[in-house]
């Protein structure tokens, strides 16, 4: 099978050449991403609101997007996974299924917030200083996350509260992805093998302070053109 | 819980402040490009064309919705294959679960990219498109193009601040006349399964669709190659 490395150089140079002019219709985004944060004090009053564009998708998001396009099998007759799933995401080329039944793949997402900052790279795989779940020093209580879908937009929502005794500062936010491969295991039961990735990473233009007793909601909205 | 009700209010789009200045210089973090190169019978390039690609279909979006939405809402997504047949899909990991078939040592339910389908028509609503308006079939008869095998990437390439992968396909015109390509789409064969082999098979499904800003003419004896480039930019 032909692969990208075999693309003629003159074609590849042209493919990667930047557009010389941007027509108005060309500026329509395929995917637009937005982050919203709302902070409340202990009495429930809103004390801070943010809305900013999300700018930093990792190569793992691109790999996730390859699944609807390339699917999971490398070709119609080979029972091996696509090269991107194996080489970029580190998934098994072929999942062992002890019961002879089938295996499938699905994925989920979640928001994580942190108190660090770091330079973005396409292969970044964690926040600089993730804030863990709890009510101890430097911790936030993470509530169950929800996902909404309306009008081509997928919204991931995280709510946290601060019972740590001190103000917590949130300076970074990431969308985490988990790919699950489900299969029959050696005990004769079904199980899932999770693979975790950082799909996006952004820092807030200025850090967000959540006072003790306060709460915050963070929302990442990904809108697909259509 | 108070927090929950507050959040419901906070996420109401009408409530979200709209005074944030649009960043018109914003670098798109994701982009897709459609590149077409036509060659004569000797392999010489006679036309190069490139446009920004815009259009995931509803089928594509359904596979980009995370598990939590399916689990919490109990909703399903309706996929429509190229024959306009519909298939309900609800992702789950509550065993026996349900998702896209994955290569395994047991029973396999292959899903895979089929081709970059080209056509001579157009349609205005790519979101709801389930097939090309006027697909050009594979062959050397009148109005046909000879499709080569689809080419798929071995990995994601990182080049400076850009990560990308490319899929491509070439086509030869031995029809005896000129063929005009005006629409392009990516066809993927979908096959959903549980771990106990309960399957739903939409089969050939349109995942991505573009109408060319300028139709491309491929003369008899000429060939054309189409490249889709998907990228994210740091």
Looking at this predicted complex, what is its ipTM?
0.91
CB-nearest partner of A76 from B59, B112, B234: B112
CB-nearest partner of B105 from A54, A96, A155: A96
Residue B66 touches chain A, beta carbons under 8 Å? yes
Sign of CA pseudo-dihedral B92, B98, B104, B107:
positive
Interface with A, mutate which of B18, B106, B107 (most A CBs under 10 A): B106
**Per-residue model confidence (pLDDT) at position B15:** 37
- Element spanning A223, H or E: strand A215-224
Residue A182 touches chain B, beta carbons under 8 Å? yes
Query: Where do the structural domains in chain A lie, given as residue ranges?
Result: 30-115+127-224
CB-nearest partner of B165 from A4, A81, A200: A4
* Distance of residue B102 Cα from the nearest chain A Cα, in angstroms: 5
* Distance of residue A142 Cα from the nearest chain B Cα, in angstroms: 11
Taking contacts as CB-CB distances below 8 angstroms, the residues of chain A near B10 are 36, 38, 46, 217, 219
Once rounded to an integer, what is the mean pLDDT over residues B28-42?
Answer: 92
Residues B145 and B140: their CA atoms lie apart, in Å, by 6
Residue B223 touches chain A, beta carbons under 8 Å? no
Q: Quick check: A159 and A86 in contact, CB under 8 A?
A: no
CB-nearest partner of A72 from B23, B60, B100: B100
Residue A119 touches chain B, beta carbons under 8 Å? no
- Element spanning A16, H or E: helix A9-16
The string of pLDDT tens digits covering residues A88-113 is 999 999 999 888 889 999 999 999 99
**Per-residue model confidence (pLDDT) at position B7:** 41
Residues A100 and A96: their CA atoms lie apart, in Å, by 9
**Per-residue model confidence (pLDDT) at position A27:** 59
Q: Quick check: A179 and A197 in contact, CB under 8 A?
A: yes
Query: Where do the structural domains in chain B lie, given as residue ranges?
Result: 28-233
Residue in chain B nearest A219 by alpha carbon: B11
Residue B138 touches chain A, beta carbons under 8 Å? no
Once rounded to an integer, what is the mean pLDDT over residues B183-201?
Answer: 95
Q: Which of A151-165, B5-19, B38-52, B116-130 has the lowest mean pLDDT?
A: B5-19
Q: How many CA atoms lie within 13 A of B165 on its CB side?
A: 25
Q: Do B232 and A63 touch (CB under 8 A)?
A: no
Residue B166 touches chain A, beta carbons under 8 Å? yes
Q: Quick check: A145 and A89 in contact, CB under 8 A?
A: no
Q: Quick check: A101 and A182 in contact, CB under 8 A?
A: no
Residues A16 and B52: their CA atoms lie apart, in Å, by 12
CA distances to A65, A200, A220, B135, B179 from A58, rounded to whole Å, are 11, 6, 15, 35, 39
The C-alpha angle B94, B95, B101, rounded to 5 degrees, equals 100
Residues B10 and A144: their CA atoms lie apart, in Å, by 16
Q: At which residue do the structure tokens 């799933």 appear?
A: A85
* Distance of residue A39 Cα from the nearest chain B Cα, in angstroms: 10
Q: Do A104 and B37 touch (CB under 8 A)?
A: no
In this prediction, the residues of chain A whose per-residue pLDDT falls under 70 are 1-5, 20-28, 226
Q: Quick check: A173 and A111 in contact, CB under 8 A?
A: yes
User: B16 pLDDT exceeds 70?
Assistant: no
**Per-residue model confidence (pLDDT) at position B26:** 43
User: B14 pLDDT exceeds 70?
Assistant: no
Tokens coding B74: 């109990």
Q: What average pLDDT does the structure give for chain B?
A: 89
Residue A57 touches chain B, beta carbons under 8 Å? yes
Residue A167 touches chain B, beta carbons under 8 Å? no
Residue B214 touches chain A, beta carbons under 8 Å? no
The string of pLDDT tens digits covering residues B51-101 is 999 889 999 999 999 999 999 999 999 999 999 999 999 999 998 899 999
Residue B155 touches chain A, beta carbons under 8 Å? yes
Q: Do A73 and B110 touch (CB under 8 A)?
A: yes
CA distances to A15, B105, B109, B112 from A94, rounded to whole Å, are 33, 7, 13, 15
Q: Do A33 and B163 touch (CB under 8 A)?
A: no
Residues A114 and A71: their CA atoms lie apart, in Å, by 33
**Per-residue model confidence (pLDDT) at position A54:** 84
Q: At which residue do the structure tokens 């089929």 appear?
A: B114
Q: Do B227 and A7 touch (CB under 8 A)?
A: yes
Q: Quick check: A179 and A107 in contact, CB under 8 A?
A: yes
B211 pLDDT band, cuts 50/70/90, is very high
CB-nearest partner of A88 from B45, B64, B155: B155
Residue A21 touches chain B, beta carbons under 8 Å? no
Residue B56 touches chain A, beta carbons under 8 Å? yes
Residues B122 and B129: their CA atoms lie apart, in Å, by 10
Residues A73 and A85: their CA atoms lie apart, in Å, by 9
**pTM for the whole structure:** 0.90
Q: Quick check: B33 and B229 in contact, CB under 8 A?
A: yes
Interface with A, mutate which of B62, B66, B115 (most A CBs under 10 A): B66
Q: Which of B32-36, B125-129, B166-170 has the lowest mean pLDDT?
A: B125-129
Residues B132 and B60: their CA atoms lie apart, in Å, by 15
Closest to B175 in 3D by CA, of B138, B134, B132, B227: B138
Which residues, other chains included, contact B101 with Cβ-Cβ below 8 Å and sequence gap of 6+? Answer: A72, A73, A102, A103, A104, A105, B108, B109, B110, B111, B191, B192, B193, B199
Closest to A111 in 3D by CA, of A142, A88, A134, A152: A142
Residue A42 touches chain B, beta carbons under 8 Å? no
Q: Do A69 and B113 touch (CB under 8 A)?
A: yes
- Element spanning A67, H or E: helix A59-70
Residues B135 and B185: their CA atoms lie apart, in Å, by 9
Q: Do B64 and A70 touch (CB under 8 A)?
A: no
Q: Do A154 and B154 touch (CB under 8 A)?
A: no
């Amino acid at each position: 099978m032909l692969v990208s490395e075999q693309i003629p150089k003159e074609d590849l140079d042209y493919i990667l050449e930047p557009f010389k002019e941007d027509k108005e219709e060309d500026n329509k985004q395929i995917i637009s991403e937005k982050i919203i944060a709302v902070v409340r004090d202990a009495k429930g009053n809103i004390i801070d609101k943010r809305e900013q564009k999300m700018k930093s998708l990792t190569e793992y998001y691109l790999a996730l997007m390859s699944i609807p396009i390339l699917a999971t099998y490398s070709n119609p007759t080979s029972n091996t996974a696509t090269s991107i799933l194996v080489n970029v995401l580190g998934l098994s080329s072929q999942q062992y299924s002890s019961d002879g039944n089938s295996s499938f793949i699905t994925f989920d997402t979640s928001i994580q917030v942190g108190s660090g900052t770091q330079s973005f790279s396409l292969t970044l795989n964690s926040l600089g200083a993730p804030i863990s779940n709890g009510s101890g020093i430097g911790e936030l209580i993470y509530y169950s996350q929800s996902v909404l879908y309306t009008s081509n937009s997928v919204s991931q929502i995280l709510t946290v509260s601060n019972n740590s005794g001190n103000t917590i500062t949130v300076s970074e936010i990431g969308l985490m992805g988990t790919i699950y491969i489900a299969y029959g295991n050696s005990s004769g039961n079904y199980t899932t093998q999770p693979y975790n990735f950082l799909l996006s990473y952004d820092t807030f233009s200025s850090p967000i302070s959540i006072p003790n007793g306060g709460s915050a909601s963070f929302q990442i909205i990904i809108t697909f053109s259509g | 819980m108070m927090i929950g009700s507050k959040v419901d209010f906070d996420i109401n789009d009408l409530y979200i402040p709209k005074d944030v200045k649009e960043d018109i210089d914003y670098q798109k973090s994701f982009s897709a490009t459609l590149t077409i190169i036509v060659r004569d019978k000797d392999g010489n390039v006679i036309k190069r064309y490139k446009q920004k690609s815009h259009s995931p279909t509803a089928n594509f979006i359904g596979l980009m919705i995370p598990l939590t939405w399916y689990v919490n809402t109990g909703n399903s997504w309706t996929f429509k294959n190229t024959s306009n047949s519909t298939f309900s899909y609800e992702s789950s990991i509550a065993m026996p679960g349900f998702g896209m078939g994955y290569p395994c040592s047991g029973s396999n339910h292959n899903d895979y990219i089929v081709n970059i389908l080209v056509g001579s028509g157009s349609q205005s609503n790519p979101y709801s498109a389930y097939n090309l308006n006027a697909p050009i079939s594979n062959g050397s008869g009148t109005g046909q193009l000879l499709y080569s095998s689809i080419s798929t990437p071995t990995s994601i390439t990182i080049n400076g601040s850009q990560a990308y992968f490319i899929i491509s396909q070439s086509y030869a015109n031995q029809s005896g006349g000129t063929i005009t390509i005006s629409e392009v789409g990516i066809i993927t064969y979908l096959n959903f399964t549980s771990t106990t082999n309960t399957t739903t098979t939409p089969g050939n499904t349109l995942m991505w669709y573009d109408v060319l800003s300028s139709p491309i003419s491929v003369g008899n004896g000429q060939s054309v190659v189409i490249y889709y480039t998907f990228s994210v930019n740091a």
